[in-house]
Amino acid sequence: MGECPHLRPKAKDVSPLIQEILIEVAKETPEQWQVRLEALAPELIEELNTKKEPDKGLKALDLEEGQKVVMRFAPNPNGPPTLGSTRGIIVNSEYVKKYGGKFIIRFDDTDPQTKRPMLEAYDWYVDDCKWLGANPDEIVIASDRIPVYYDYARKLIEMGHAYVCFCDGADFKKFKDAKQACPHRDASSEDNLGHWDKMLSGEYEEKSAVLRIKTDITHKDPALRDFGAFRIVKTPHPRPEVGDKYNVWPLLDFEGAIEDHELGMTHIIRGKDLMDSEKRQGYIYKYLGWEYPKTTHWGRVKMHEFGKFSTSGLRKAIEDGEYSGWDDPRLPTLRALRRRGIFPEAIRKFMIEMGVGETDISLSMDTLYAENRKILDPIANRYFFVWNPVEIEITGTEPCTTTPALHPTKDRGCREIEVDNKVYICKEDAEKLEEGSKIRLKDLYNLEITSMEPLQAKYLGNSIESVKKEKMRIIHWAPMDGISVKVLSPDGEFTGIGERQIATELDKVVQFERFGFCRIDAVAGEVVAYYTHK
RNA sequence: GCUCCGAUAGUGUAGCACGGCCAAUCAUGCAGGACUCUCACUCCUGCGACUGGGGUUCGAAUCCCCAUCGGAGCACCA
């Protein structure tokens, strides 16, 4: 019908005819269909056989042919980047890669008080962006550019679009809720300029005055009625280059509005919590005759594995020793994921395939782990690590050496393990045994349990055929001269014994068989490993 | 209270701007099986969704209205 619009008026007549034909066709066999299709339209057969490739990844951006983009990621560095931050980093930088242009990191660090920036975090953001493959073309720090914001503020006051308001917060809210102008709204530009200068020079105390942008005080959406643009904060900024230079600080809506224009932003992609913010900023753009960048939003993201946590709450928990630091494996910070051996490529893929939807989503780390496992499995060497180790004594054989492969399918050589008359096995494996049970020590030999306490076994040959025939359990083990290993995981700590050769894998991700992937974090004395995932 | 968004399998996601190629994609998850000297990997099979109700239309996941549910904003936070 789409192809033959002239039939549309006759749709009522056409559809019974089609129905009849369909009934006829349904009586035939698939083989008959094949024959008829070959006669009618052979090209369709190929089309049927090729699977539809759905659009993967990010949707096209709204722009003109050949246009380059300028996009930004704008964090407040009041804590370390987290998995949540990566959405902004990856989506924005990916578009810049796709269309060409500029990717900017802009630190919106204009609150020295409530969400006070953390000095180390500036570098963390830049580092983590680079690690994720999102190299910034430019780094902008808002607290370096306060005079720029002051200039625009003055301009808006002169134009009569901004006023200094001395209302108490609660009083202003009453006026606003009643759609009424507060007493200061109609002051002259001259008066306002005078007040503004006094704000800047520090004559007013904190909370006593605020610069507001005039919008429409009767707007039906209360969120859009006259909003604050600057406030007085006398707490010095943590950056030494800024310190106590300023008494008056811009609020996000103002600072962001000015910077997005100054930096030539073409597109903005950010959380939908900032949707109203955009409408407020629209007034500033209108007054200054600017055009607002094109915007897209994403919804709230929650990870099943991580509850709600605030940066400030987390900071306290770390200070209290509840977590070992910002890279504690239980945390969703990028530093932690990095330390655990999550690869940036996996995070990128995860974020890109998630796309940019306005729906609030709640997702599981499993999907990220699955991506990461695809990268890890071919490159991770295999080792034995026995957690909660118990000794088992073996009789009936001589000390020997075994050489299991480092990888089950890739040819990467072997490791070498010497075995005397005792090995370690996991307590949870030992608990399933009883006198007379037969087990296979993987890559070693077969045993029959002769005593449970103490745990003893006798050598039963090393025929793998009899393992299969008798369906023996195959368990892993560790030699008596193994190395102590401590694994830190989101679910707690595991300690035990591993092969000595693990110590050569510093900073690599290995797989502890029947346990999971781990990144070897330290090898001095004992091995410390961070659990990656199953 | 006012305002603004959104809703497709367990979880994400494609399809929706322009209604018919949708008996709805892909991934992950789960279940079963094959392979395997790991509980990993790989392979095969299966499970599973258009929030509900009206309307428009020959035809609705797609357009319109209502309801329900979820989220956000109404800060001198970002």
Taking only the tens place, the pLDDT of each residue in A247-305 is: 999 999 999 999 999 999 999 999 998 999 999 999 999 999 999 999 999 998 888 88
For A369 and B43, how far is CA from C1' in angstroms?
21
* Domain assignment present for A231: yes
SS3 category, A179: coil
Q: Percent of chain A scored above 90 by pLDDT?
A: 75
- Helices in A271-310 by DSSP H: which ranges? 275-288
* Domain assignment present for A358: no
**Enclosing domain of residue A200:** 146-250
Average pLDDT over residues A414-435: 93
Cα-based distances in Å from A442 to A393, A428, A460: 16, 16, 14
DSSP per residue, A387-455: ESEEEEEEESS--EEE--BSSSSS---B--EEE-SEEEEEHHHHTT--TT-EEEETTS-EEEEEETTTT
* Domain assignment present for A470: yes
* Domain assignment present for A191: yes
Question: Within window 145-164 on A, which residues have Cβ closer than 7 Å to strand B?
Answer: none
**Where is the domain boundary, A224, A250, A276?**
A250
Across A23-44, b (16+ Cβ under 10 Å) vs e yields eeeeeeeeeeeeeeeeeeeeee
Answer whether residue A37 shows pLDDT above 70: no
* Domain assignment present for A325: no
Contact A45, A38 (CB under 8 A): yes
Q: Give the span between the Cα atoms of A511 and A13, in whole angstroms.
A: 67
* Domain assignment present for A518: no
* Domain assignment present for A452: yes
A197-223 per-position pLDDT tens digit: 999 999 999 999 999 999 999 999 999
* Domain assignment present for A360: no
Q: Answer yes or no: is A474 CB < 7 A from strand B.
A: yes
Contact A196, A184 (CB under 8 A): no
A139-163 per-position pLDDT tens digit: 999 999 999 999 999 999 999 999 9
Indicate which CATH number applies to the domain containing A216: 3.90.800.10
Protein-proximal nucleotides of chain B (any atom < 7 Å from a CB) = 1-8, 10-15, 20-21, 25-29, 36-42, 57-59, 70-78
With CA of A273 and C1' of each nucleotide, the nearest comes out as B72
**Where is the domain boundary, A446, A477, A508?**
A477
Name the domain count of chain A. Answer: 3
For A280 and B53, how far is CA from C1' in angstroms?
37
Question: Within window 374-413 on A, which residues have Cβ closer than 7 Å to strand B?
Answer: 374, 377, 382, 408-409
- Helices in A132-274 by DSSP H: which ranges? 146-158, 169-177, 189-201, 252-262
Distance of CA A515 to the CA centre of its chain: 25
Q: Answer yes or no: is A354 CB < 7 A from strand B.
A: yes
- DSSP label at residue A274: G
CA angle A437, A443, A446 (to 5 degrees): 25
A321-351 per-position pLDDT tens digit: 999 999 999 999 999 999 999 999 999 999 9
Q: Give the span between the Cα atoms of A218 and A222, in whole angstroms.
A: 8
Cα-based distances in Å from A252 to A27, A81, A160, A215: 68, 19, 21, 17
With CA of A77 and C1' of each nucleotide, the nearest comes out as B78
Average pLDDT over residues A377-399: 95
Q: Which amino acid is at A237?
A: H
The residues facing A517 across adjacent strands are A511, A533
**Where is the domain boundary, A250, A272, A299?**
A250
